[in-house]
Structure 1
Amino acid sequence: MSDYQNRDDLGLARELIALAPTEAKAFLGMKAAAERSDGVIPDKYRELISIAVALATQCAYCIDAHTKNAVQAGATREEIAETAFIAAALKAGAAVGHGLLALRLFDEAGAR
Protein backbone atom coordinates (compact mmCIF):
# COMPACT_ATOMS: atom_id res chain seq x y z
CA MET A 1 0.00 0.00 0.00
CA SER A 2 2.94 2.33 -0.49
CA ASP A 3 0.90 4.27 -3.05
CA TYR A 4 -2.14 4.66 -0.80
CA GLN A 5 -1.41 8.36 -0.35
CA ASN A 6 0.04 9.89 -3.47
CA ARG A 7 0.92 13.52 -4.26
CA ASP A 8 -0.86 13.07 -7.58
CA ASP A 9 -4.12 12.82 -5.63
CA LEU A 10 -3.88 16.57 -5.08
CA GLY A 11 -4.80 16.86 -8.77
CA LEU A 12 -8.31 15.79 -7.77
CA ALA A 13 -8.77 18.89 -5.58
CA ARG A 14 -10.66 20.89 -8.22
CA GLU A 15 -13.03 17.98 -8.79
CA LEU A 16 -13.62 17.55 -5.05
CA ILE A 17 -14.35 21.28 -4.73
CA ALA A 18 -16.74 21.19 -7.70
CA LEU A 19 -18.62 18.26 -6.18
CA ALA A 20 -19.31 20.08 -2.91
CA PRO A 21 -19.01 23.82 -3.65
CA THR A 22 -20.78 25.16 -0.56
CA GLU A 23 -18.72 23.07 1.85
CA ALA A 24 -15.54 23.72 -0.13
CA LYS A 25 -16.10 27.47 0.00
CA ALA A 26 -16.46 27.33 3.79
CA PHE A 27 -13.35 25.14 4.14
CA LEU A 28 -11.27 27.30 1.81
CA GLY A 29 -12.35 30.43 3.69
CA MET A 30 -11.24 28.92 6.99
CA LYS A 31 -7.98 27.75 5.38
CA ALA A 32 -7.34 31.26 4.00
CA ALA A 33 -7.95 32.80 7.43
CA ALA A 34 -5.51 30.37 9.05
CA GLU A 35 -2.87 30.97 6.40
CA ARG A 36 -3.21 34.76 6.07
CA SER A 37 0.01 36.73 6.20
CA ASP A 38 -1.46 39.90 7.71
CA GLY A 39 -2.16 38.43 11.14
CA VAL A 40 -0.31 39.03 14.39
CA ILE A 41 1.33 35.59 14.25
CA PRO A 42 4.26 35.63 11.78
CA ASP A 43 4.17 33.30 8.77
CA LYS A 44 6.93 31.04 10.09
CA TYR A 45 5.08 30.40 13.33
CA ARG A 46 1.79 29.85 11.50
CA GLU A 47 3.52 27.20 9.41
CA LEU A 48 5.16 25.54 12.42
CA ILE A 49 1.77 25.41 14.14
CA SER A 50 0.29 23.96 10.95
CA ILE A 51 3.00 21.31 10.83
CA ALA A 52 2.34 20.37 14.46
CA VAL A 53 -1.37 19.96 13.78
CA ALA A 54 -0.67 18.04 10.57
CA LEU A 55 1.63 15.67 12.46
CA ALA A 56 -0.96 15.17 15.21
CA THR A 57 -3.77 14.56 12.71
CA GLN A 58 -1.45 12.55 10.44
CA CYS A 59 -2.33 14.41 7.24
CA ALA A 60 0.52 13.62 4.84
CA TYR A 61 -0.65 16.22 2.33
CA CYS A 62 -0.69 18.92 5.02
CA ILE A 63 2.75 17.88 6.28
CA ASP A 64 4.05 18.18 2.71
CA ALA A 65 2.50 21.58 2.00
CA HIS A 66 3.22 23.22 5.34
CA THR A 67 6.80 21.95 5.53
CA LYS A 68 7.48 23.57 2.15
CA ASN A 69 5.76 26.75 3.33
CA ALA A 70 7.77 26.72 6.56
CA VAL A 71 11.03 26.47 4.61
CA GLN A 72 9.97 29.45 2.50
CA ALA A 73 9.08 31.33 5.70
CA GLY A 74 12.57 30.73 7.10
CA ALA A 75 12.05 27.75 9.41
CA THR A 76 15.08 25.65 10.23
CA ARG A 77 15.49 21.88 10.43
CA GLU A 78 15.90 22.27 14.19
CA GLU A 79 12.57 24.11 14.42
CA ILE A 80 10.86 21.36 12.43
CA ALA A 81 12.40 18.75 14.75
CA GLU A 82 11.28 20.59 17.89
CA THR A 83 7.82 21.03 16.37
CA ALA A 84 7.60 17.27 15.82
CA PHE A 85 8.46 16.50 19.43
CA ILE A 86 6.12 19.17 20.79
CA ALA A 87 3.29 17.70 18.69
CA ALA A 88 4.17 14.18 19.89
CA ALA A 89 4.21 15.26 23.53
CA LEU A 90 0.85 17.00 23.28
CA LYS A 91 -0.72 14.09 21.42
CA ALA A 92 0.57 11.75 24.13
CA GLY A 93 -0.75 14.16 26.74
CA ALA A 94 -4.18 13.93 25.13
CA ALA A 95 -4.05 10.15 25.49
CA VAL A 96 -3.27 10.53 29.20
CA GLY A 97 -6.12 13.02 29.54
CA HIS A 98 -8.48 10.57 27.89
CA GLY A 99 -7.11 7.91 30.23
CA LEU A 100 -8.38 10.02 33.12
CA LEU A 101 -11.77 10.15 31.43
CA ALA A 102 -11.71 6.38 30.97
CA LEU A 103 -11.01 5.87 34.69
CA ARG A 104 -13.91 8.12 35.66
CA LEU A 105 -16.25 6.37 33.21
CA PHE A 106 -15.09 3.01 34.58
CA ASP A 107 -15.95 4.17 38.12
CA GLU A 108 -19.30 5.59 36.97
CA ALA A 109 -20.13 2.25 35.36
CA GLY A 110 -19.95 0.76 38.83
CA ALA A 111 -17.00 -1.48 38.13
CA ARG A 112 -14.85 -0.08 40.93
Structure 2
Amino acid sequence: MSYYQSSNDFKYVTTLLKYAPKETQAFIDFDHRSVKRTEGHIPVKIRELIALAVALTTQCAYCIEVHSKNAKRVGASKEELAELISIAAAVRAGATMGHGFLAMRLFDEMTS
Protein backbone atom coordinates (compact mmCIF):
# COMPACT_ATOMS: atom_id res chain seq x y z
CA MET A 1 0.00 0.00 0.00
CA SER A 2 1.54 3.26 -1.06
CA TYR A 3 -0.78 5.47 0.97
CA TYR A 4 -3.06 5.19 3.96
CA GLN A 5 -5.58 7.99 3.51
CA SER A 6 -6.88 9.30 0.22
CA SER A 7 -9.55 11.68 -1.02
CA ASN A 8 -10.80 8.74 -3.03
CA ASP A 9 -12.01 7.20 0.23
CA PHE A 10 -14.97 9.59 0.21
CA LYS A 11 -16.55 7.30 -2.39
CA TYR A 12 -17.29 4.89 0.46
CA VAL A 13 -20.04 7.21 1.69
CA THR A 14 -22.29 5.52 -0.87
CA THR A 15 -21.26 2.12 0.49
CA LEU A 16 -22.10 3.21 4.03
CA LEU A 17 -25.42 4.60 2.82
CA LYS A 18 -26.17 1.24 1.23
CA TYR A 19 -25.31 -0.93 4.24
CA ALA A 20 -26.15 1.40 7.13
CA PRO A 21 -28.47 3.98 5.57
CA LYS A 22 -30.11 5.36 8.70
CA GLU A 23 -26.91 5.73 10.68
CA THR A 24 -24.94 7.20 7.78
CA GLN A 25 -27.69 9.64 6.84
CA ALA A 26 -28.04 10.66 10.49
CA PHE A 27 -24.32 11.49 10.57
CA ILE A 28 -24.52 13.44 7.30
CA ASP A 29 -27.55 15.38 8.53
CA PHE A 30 -25.89 16.11 11.89
CA ASP A 31 -22.70 17.30 10.19
CA HIS A 32 -24.56 19.55 7.75
CA ARG A 33 -26.86 21.00 10.39
CA SER A 34 -23.95 21.70 12.72
CA VAL A 35 -21.31 23.05 10.34
CA LYS A 36 -23.08 24.24 7.22
CA ARG A 37 -26.23 25.84 8.57
CA THR A 38 -26.63 29.45 7.60
CA GLU A 39 -29.39 30.60 9.92
CA GLY A 40 -27.43 30.17 13.17
CA HIS A 41 -25.80 32.84 15.31
CA ILE A 42 -22.31 31.78 14.17
CA PRO A 43 -21.56 32.73 10.55
CA VAL A 44 -20.69 29.91 8.14
CA LYS A 45 -17.09 31.09 7.72
CA ILE A 46 -16.54 30.96 11.48
CA ARG A 47 -18.22 27.53 11.62
CA GLU A 48 -15.79 26.25 8.99
CA LEU A 49 -12.79 27.76 10.79
CA ILE A 50 -13.91 26.13 14.05
CA ALA A 51 -14.38 22.81 12.24
CA LEU A 52 -10.92 23.13 10.72
CA ALA A 53 -9.32 23.90 14.08
CA VAL A 54 -11.00 20.83 15.59
CA ALA A 55 -9.90 18.74 12.59
CA LEU A 56 -6.31 19.83 13.16
CA THR A 57 -6.41 18.93 16.84
CA THR A 58 -8.09 15.57 16.21
CA GLN A 59 -5.73 15.00 13.27
CA CYS A 60 -8.47 13.84 10.91
CA ALA A 61 -6.94 14.13 7.44
CA TYR A 62 -10.33 13.82 5.76
CA CYS A 63 -11.82 16.58 7.91
CA ILE A 64 -8.77 18.77 7.32
CA GLU A 65 -9.27 18.39 3.57
CA VAL A 66 -13.01 19.09 3.63
CA HIS A 67 -12.88 22.03 6.02
CA SER A 68 -9.78 23.65 4.45
CA LYS A 69 -11.55 23.68 1.10
CA ASN A 70 -14.84 24.81 2.64
CA ALA A 71 -13.15 27.60 4.61
CA LYS A 72 -11.56 28.93 1.43
CA ARG A 73 -14.86 28.59 -0.44
CA VAL A 74 -16.70 30.71 2.16
CA GLY A 75 -14.06 33.44 2.18
CA ALA A 76 -11.45 32.57 4.80
CA SER A 77 -8.08 34.15 4.13
CA LYS A 78 -4.63 32.59 4.27
CA GLU A 79 -3.89 34.92 7.21
CA GLU A 80 -6.90 33.53 9.10
CA LEU A 81 -5.75 30.01 8.31
CA ALA A 82 -2.24 30.74 9.60
CA GLU A 83 -3.58 32.18 12.87
CA LEU A 84 -6.01 29.28 13.23
CA ILE A 85 -3.13 26.79 12.94
CA SER A 86 -1.28 28.51 15.80
CA ILE A 87 -4.41 28.67 17.94
CA ALA A 88 -5.16 24.97 17.37
CA ALA A 89 -1.56 24.06 18.19
CA ALA A 90 -1.66 26.09 21.40
CA VAL A 91 -4.95 24.55 22.50
CA ARG A 92 -3.66 21.05 21.78
CA ALA A 93 -0.52 21.80 23.77
CA GLY A 94 -2.69 23.26 26.54
CA ALA A 95 -4.74 20.07 26.64
CA THR A 96 -1.52 18.09 27.04
CA MET A 97 -0.56 20.33 29.96
CA GLY A 98 -4.01 19.92 31.51
CA HIS A 99 -3.76 16.14 31.25
CA GLY A 100 -0.27 16.46 32.71
CA PHE A 101 -1.82 18.15 35.75
CA LEU A 102 -4.19 15.21 36.05
CA ALA A 103 -1.29 12.74 35.80
CA MET A 104 0.59 14.61 38.53
CA ARG A 105 -2.43 14.55 40.84
CA LEU A 106 -3.10 10.86 40.20
CA PHE A 107 0.57 10.12 40.80
CA ASP A 108 0.43 12.05 44.10
CA GLU A 109 -2.80 10.33 45.14
CA MET A 110 -1.37 6.86 44.53
CA THR A 111 -0.62 5.14 47.76
CA SER A 112 2.41 2.91 47.73
Q: TM-score, normalised by structure 2?
A: 0.91
Alignment of 1:26-41 (within 5 A): 26-35=26-35, 36-41=37-42
SS in 2 for 1:17: helix
5+ residue gaps, structure 1:
none
**How far apart are 1:21 and its partner, in Å?**
2.4
**How far apart are 1:38 and its partner, in Å?**
1.4
Distance 2:53 2:108 in 1: 34
Distance 1:2 1:43 in 2: 36
Question: Which deviates further from its counterpart, 33-42 or 91-100?
Answer: 33-42
Distance 2:78 2:71 in 1: 10
Counterpart residue type for residue 13 of structure 1: V
Distance 1:26 1:15 in 2: 15
1:17 aligns with 2:28: no
Distance 1:109 1:43 in 2: 47
Counterpart residue type for residue 55 of structure 1: L
Map Cα deviations across residues 27-52 of structure 1 (whole Å, 9 max, x no partner).
Answer: 22220221211111111101100100
1:93 corresponding residue in structure 2: 94
SS in 1 for 2:26: helix
User: Which consecutive aligned stretches of 4+ in structure 1 deviate over 6 angstroms post-superposition?
Assistant: none
Counterpart residue type for residue 104 of structure 2: L
What is the count of residue pairs matched by the alignment? 111
Counterpart residue type for residue 12 of structure 2: L
**How far apart are 1:77 and its partner, in Å?**
0.4
Counterpart residue type for residue 24 of structure 2: A
5+ residue gaps, structure 2:
none
**How far apart are 1:68 and its partner, in Å?**
1.0
SS in 2 for 1:110: coil
2:107 corresponding residue in structure 1: 106
1:46 aligns with 2:47: yes
Counterpart residue type for residue 89 of structure 2: A
Distance 1:2 1:79 in 2: 33
